[in-house]
Amino acid sequence: MRTRTDEDIVRQVKEGNTEAFGLLVKRYEQKILRYARRFLFGHEDGQDLVQEVFLKAYANIQSFDGEHKFSSWLYRIAHNEFINALRKKRRMPILYFDFDTVFPHLLASERADTQANEKEVKAMLDAHLQELDPKYREPLILYYFEEMNYKEIAEILHIPPATVGVRLKRGKDVLKSLIT
């Protein structure tokens, strides 16, 4: 049973308890590895990148102010690391203007998918991840595999929550078009 919250452990790490950081690594490395493998889809060495994510988290731990969840903060570091890796290998444009974030969207209500629907989407994702644009792939992974809500995904990707809904919908539409 988890007795200490992530934020409690972060407080100890900030005070100099290095071993405590090992606990955070233990809690999150599987999740971040899974996220890496799905998002990068074998293009990059996920393990090295995940290691780099935790090293960066440690180096910058004093900037974590507790305003957001530690998990969101860590996933944000992972997101930046993975995007940079894709850019280095030119699998993403270096300068990339995101039109989705310019205009306001009506916030689609975050309705929980039925179990069957969720299974169907996960199966489609597993089969066609590589074919999806990273812009859609990432929120779909975070929503369906990391089980995050719109607000959490918005904090990680630094986009408005309504844009998360738009990308999820478009991503699912693209997936459906791939299988028909």
Partner 1 sequence: MNDTSDHSSIQQEVLAAIKSGRVKMRPKWYFFLRAALVIVGAAFLFLTVLYLTSFIIFMLRQTGVLFVPAFGLRGLWVFLVSLPWLLIGAALLFILILEVLVKQYAFAYRRPLLYSTFAILFLVTAGGLVIAMTPLHPGLFKQAKEDALPLAGPLYRQFLAQRFPDIHKGMVIEFVDTGFFMKNNEEETLQVVVTSTTHFPFDSELYTGEWVVVFGRREDGTIQALGVHKVSDLMEEVPRMKGKSRHFGQ
Q: What are the residues binding partner 1 (CB under 8 A)?
A: 14, 18-19, 21-22, 25-26, 29-30, 33, 47, 50-51, 54-55, 58-63, 101-105, 154-155, 158-163
List the one residue out of 166, 177, 11, 169 whose CA is nearest residue 101.
166
Report, in Å, the least distance between residue 167 CB and partner 1.
14
Report, in Å, the least distance between residue 79 CB and partner 1.
13
List the one residue out of 174, 157, 169 whose CA is nearest residue 35.
157
Q: Are 129 and 137 within 8 A, CB to CB? A: yes
d(CA 38, CA 125): 9
d(CA 116, CA 126): 15
Which CB atom, from 61 or from 174, has the smaller least distance to partner 1? 61
Which CB atom, from 89 or from 158, has the smaller least distance to partner 1? 158
Max Cα-Cα span within the chain: 55
What's at 65, amino acid-wise?
Answer: D
Report, in Å, the least distance between residue 154 CB and partner 1.
7
Report, in Å, the least distance between residue 67 CB and partner 1.
8
Which CB atom, from 117 or from 130, has the smaller least distance to partner 1? 130
Which CB atom, from 102 or from 179, has the smaller least distance to partner 1? 102
